[in-house]
Chains A and B, each alone.
Chain A
Amino acid sequence: MTLMGKIIKKENLKRLFDDVSREFKVIAPVKKGEDYVLSEVESFSDVVLDYPTTILPPKKFLLPYKEPIFAFDAEGFKDLIPDEKIAFFGLHLCDANAIGRLDLVFWNDPYYRARRDRMLIIGISCKPTETCFCKSMKANSLTNACDLFLLAKDDKYIGFSMTEKGRKIVSQLYFEPETVNVEEVKIEYEEKLSLNLYKVERKILEDYNNPVWDETAKKCLACTNCTVVCPLCYCFDVVDETFIFPGEGLRFRCWDSCLLLSFARVAGGHNFRRDLKARYRNVYTHKFKTYIDEFGVPSCVGCGRCIIFCPANIDMREVLFKLGGV
């Protein structure tokens, strides 16, 4: 498939930003201390276009930390379907493709879908770091998870529109009239540790009792930092909070983690994954086996966040390497 790109000069990015912010609440990478976070921005000058990765992924806006989903009182209940229009400005391909992979799971979820239908995603080129492994996870190509992708080229960007929303944008006058054709848009680089997805998938079940699970679970704090920062971890819990005065309540969906003891506990107290080892392994079987069986792609885009933010220095790539997935 040939992709047709249109050039936009750096100085015109601000016009693109202003245009988008007229219609959307714009979420872009900004600086927080020494690090970067995705945050609502009002002025283009706050946007950082060259950043390694953000602490939390875009999921914090799609599946918020603690989201009220309906309110109830003695009369009945009221669905709280969100109606905000969000535009991501400057997502790396891994994060945009992670949204594409979340869609596979949440497309029929009314709360997710309401946000997603109104959403605009503008991706941007990145500079791979030593924790990146999006190539191994087949998440380094441009897909229609991005409405528009801005590929850095010398002192300009080439804008590739992947959807109708994107096409409307590149037809604006701040894009140059001439076009550039390419076969595909892909982030190419040498990964520090490359994995073979096919082998990973096979090894996970074949080597169910590999000592690596014991070894790693022994080091793991079950702190959930890795699942919280993962753009594709979506384990959640549902809690009701009732306020007897004045007699109303809210139902929330909030982040949970399959690494925690309570997650696989069912009524009556039985727990399907009593040991941390079983729970730790579950992260991998879900990401690299059952998800692939179901959707054809892993539930990992190789963004590297789980590696960067693990206080115990556990590296998912090394675990998969020891398993023989290279």
Chain B
Amino acid sequence: MRPKVAIFDLTDCEGCEVQIVNSKLIDKVLEGVEIVHFRLGQRVNRWEKFDVAFVEGAAITSDELELVKKIREHSKLVIALGSCACFGGIAAINNFMDLDEAKRYVYGENADKIEVLYVKPLPEIIKVDFMIRGCPITPEDFERVVSDLLAGRIPREHTRPVCIDCKSKENICLLLKGIPCAGPVTYGGCGAPCPSAGMPCDGCRGPLEELQMSAELELLKKIATKEDIVRLFRKYAPMASMFKEVGGGKL
């Protein structure tokens, strides 16, 4: 029997689900697993026992919180898909401001009818078995995790910073040009698309297992304003450990 897979989305942009569909191996994956729930990708969906559930997005309403718990009850493995699920993502910018004020700014007079909660990343709500990081994830990361799980192996964590990818592409380090970059403290494996295009790494894949945050901040303070540094770490993985403190202004 083919393993039963579900793909759910909470509050997000659906970009990581699109990356799944972008996978060159998607036809092969579809031959090997049965997708029983995938709102974005198919019309008929059903709830049953899932072998693996991928959950994209951040839970920002009580309905979503309930949904997350229900998914956990139905699934042998839960995988957080992308940085919104892993670390709160863009939506968690709310956590750094006055929620009512933010709501009024966005929804105007309808603000009171809209429910928005403090954004918790998935691992703070339920047990998460594995994370696929990135905003968005790379199709290759998805393929690797699916292949590893189907082979009965624990998916391997990436252990190197973005800088190793970046320098392998022979970029001159942005930090040497006075541009703040989170590459040294960020979980690599993305291939460093941002610094390769001349833009700083905003740490979308979250923190590396061990990071030299104080050395990074010492250096950043020499080339950037406090506001810029805060913004850098608040962007894509704001609820990740170590990033959360800096994003919250502690530097």
- B143 interfacial contact with A, CB 8 Å: yes
Q: How many A-B contacts are there with CB distance less than 8 Å?
A: 103
Q: Which residues of chain B are within 8 angstroms of A228 by Cβ–Cβ distance?
A: 163-164, 167-168
Report whether A309 and B173 are in contact in the complex, using a CB–CB cutoff of 8 Å.
Answer: yes
Which residues of A in the span 194-238 have a Cβ within 8 Å of any Cβ on B? 218-225, 228-229, 237
Give the residue among B161, B167, B211 with the most A Cβ atoms within 10 A: B167
Given A244-B147, A261-B159, A262-B209, does the pair A221, B219 have CB atoms closer than 8 Å?
A: yes
**B163 nearest in chain A by CB position:** A223
Q: Which residues of chain A are within 8 angstroms of B63 by Cβ–Cβ distance?
A: none
- A296 interfacial contact with B, CB 8 Å: no
Q: Which residues of chain B are within 8 angstroms of A65 by Cβ–Cβ distance?
A: 168
- A192 interfacial contact with B, CB 8 Å: no
- B175 interfacial contact with A, CB 8 Å: yes
C-alpha gap A324/B153 in the complex (Å): 50
Report whether B219 and A56 are in contact in the complex, using a CB–CB cutoff of 8 Å.
Answer: no
- Give the secondary structure class of B's interface: helix
Residue total for A at the interface (Cβ-Cβ under 8 A): 37
| CB-contact partner of B215 in A35, A219, A239, under 8 A | A219
Report whether B159 and A312 are in contact in the complex, using a CB–CB cutoff of 8 Å.
Answer: no
- B15 interfacial contact with A, CB 8 Å: no
Report whether B160 and A256 are in contact in the complex, using a CB–CB cutoff of 8 Å.
Answer: yes
- B184 interfacial contact with A, CB 8 Å: yes
- A79 interfacial contact with B, CB 8 Å: no
- B43 interfacial contact with A, CB 8 Å: no
Report whether B32 and A245 are in contact in the complex, using a CB–CB cutoff of 8 Å.
Answer: yes
Report whether B164 and A55 are in contact in the complex, using a CB–CB cutoff of 8 Å.
Answer: no
C-alpha gap A138/B159 in the complex (Å): 35
Q: Which residues of chain B are within 8 angstroms of A237 by Cβ–Cβ distance?
A: 159
C-alpha gap A57/B56 in the complex (Å): 41
Residues 200-223 of chain B, each 1 if its beta carbon lies under 8 Å from chain A, else 0: 000000000111101110110000
**B144 nearest in chain A by CB position:** A241
- A96 interfacial contact with B, CB 8 Å: no
Report whether B184 and A221 are in contact in the complex, using a CB–CB cutoff of 8 Å.
Answer: yes
Q: Which residues of chain B are within 8 angstroms of A219 by Cβ–Cβ distance?
A: 215, 218
- B151 interfacial contact with A, CB 8 Å: yes
Q: Which residues of chain A are within 8 angstroms of B216 by Cβ–Cβ distance?
A: 221
User: A251 to chain B: closest CB distance in Å?
Assistant: 13
Report whether A311 and B219 are in contact in the complex, using a CB–CB cutoff of 8 Å.
Answer: yes
- A276 interfacial contact with B, CB 8 Å: yes
Report whether A220 and B32 are in contact in the complex, using a CB–CB cutoff of 8 Å.
Answer: no
- A260 interfacial contact with B, CB 8 Å: yes
Given A225-B167, A225-B173, A311-B184, does the pair A244, B159 have CB atoms closer than 8 Å?
A: no
User: B114 to chain A: closest CB distance in Å?
Assistant: 42
| CB-contact partner of B160 in A34, A56, A224, under 8 A | A224
C-alpha gap A106/B151 in the complex (Å): 33
| CB-contact partner of B150 in A225, A244, A246, under 8 A | A244
**A221 nearest in chain B by CB position:** B184
Report whether A312 and B219 are in contact in the complex, using a CB–CB cutoff of 8 Å.
Answer: yes
C-alpha gap A165/B150 in the complex (Å): 51
Given A244-B147, A311-B219, does the pair A222, B212 have CB atoms closer than 8 Å?
A: yes
Report whether A244 and B151 are in contact in the complex, using a CB–CB cutoff of 8 Å.
Answer: yes
- A24 interfacial contact with B, CB 8 Å: no
- B21 interfacial contact with A, CB 8 Å: no
C-alpha gap A237/B163 in the complex (Å): 16
Other than the given A35-B172, A257-B164, 16 more pairs (CB < 8 A) read A32-B170, A55-B167, A218-B215, A222-B161, A223-B184, A224-B167, A228-B163, A228-B167, A228-B168, A241-B147, A243-B147, A256-B160, A260-B160, A260-B161, A260-B210, A312-B215
In the assembled complex, 20 residue pairs joining A and B whose CB atoms fall closer than 8 Å, in A order, are A33-B172, A55-B170, A56-B167, A56-B170, A65-B168, A219-B215, A222-B184, A225-B163, A229-B167, A244-B151, A245-B28, A255-B164, A255-B168, A256-B160, A262-B209, A276-B212, A309-B173, A309-B176, A311-B184, A311-B219
Residues of B within 8 A of A (CB): 25, 28-29, 31-32, 143-144, 146-148, 150-151, 153, 156, 159-161, 163-164, 167-168, 170, 172-173, 175-176, 183-185, 209-212, 214-216, 218-219
Residues of A within 8 A of B (CB): 32-35, 37, 55-56, 60, 65, 218-225, 228-229, 237, 239, 241-246, 255-257, 260-262, 276, 309, 311-312
